[in-house]
């Protein structure tokens, strides 16, 4: 069976052209988080997990590409969907991923004090603030890219012989 063709409603370039201020504002949020001192690998893991929950193919692929470029171990990328059972994530990653999930599912349930207490054990108030901004920003991007069906940008991988696969 042939998979259905992906039909963007509005593509990313058109979105950027129509709403440059919105794209710039979201880009600024990303830069603020990037400049906050948070570990970039951790930020990519939480963005990837929120994007998985939200089913945003564009953002999943985008953050997989970034995570690979900055050297996030493949085992973590492979297992982030099952991070609680994987046994490869640190206590800080556990707390951040739990926070990302709680904020992403916030419409359906209250963000618990227990999850926040776990976060406080691992992160400073400043780090919690920027983690919250990161999760909020990726959820906004997920809703834009998912609703408008931005096409995922698959990174070209090369085999040992140098041919693309």
What integer pLDDT is reported at residue 154 of this predicted model?
76
The answer to whether residue 163 is domain-embedded is no
Q: Which residue range(s) make up the domain with 54?
A: 21-146
pLDDT at residue 157 in the model: 52
* Predicted local distance difference test score (pLDDT) of residue 108: 82
We report the CATH number of the domain holding residue 48 as: 1.20.1290.10
- Which residue reads 């991923």 in tokens? 97
Residues of the chain where predicted confidence (pLDDT) is lower than 70: 2-6, 155-165
pLDDT at 4: 62
Q: What is the DSSP letter of 104?
A: H
pLDDT at site 165: 32
Domain assignment of residue 58, yes or no: yes
Alpha helices of the chain — where are they, by DSSP H?
A: 12-18, 20-34, 40-54, 57-69, 74-79, 83-86, 91-104, 113-122, 125-148
**Phi/psi-derived region of residue 132, left when phi > 0, alpha when psi is between -120 and 50, beta in every other case:** alpha
The reply to whether 9 falls in a domain is no
> Looking at residue 160, what is its pLDDT?
40
């Amino acid at each position: 069976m042939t998979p259905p063709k992906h039909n963007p409603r509005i593509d990313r370039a058109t979105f950027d052209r129509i709403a440059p201020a919105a794209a710039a504002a979201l880009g600024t949020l990303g830069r603020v988080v990037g400049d906050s001192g948070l570990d970039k690998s951790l930020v990519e893991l939480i963005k990837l997990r929120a994007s998985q929950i939200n089913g945003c193919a564009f953002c999943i692929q985008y953050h997989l590409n970034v995570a690979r470029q900055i050297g996030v171990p493949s085992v973590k990328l492979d297992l982030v969907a099952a991070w609680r059972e994987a046994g490869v994530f640190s206590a800080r990653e556990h707390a951040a991923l739990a926070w990302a999930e709680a904020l992403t599912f916030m419409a359906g349930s209250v963000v618990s004090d227990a999850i926040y207490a776990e976060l406080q054990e691992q992160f400073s108030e400043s780090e919690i603030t920027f983690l919250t901004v990161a999760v909020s920003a990726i959820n906004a991007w997920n809703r834009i890219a998912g609703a408008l069906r931005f096409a995922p940008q698959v990174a070209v991988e090369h085999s040992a012989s140098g041919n693309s696969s």
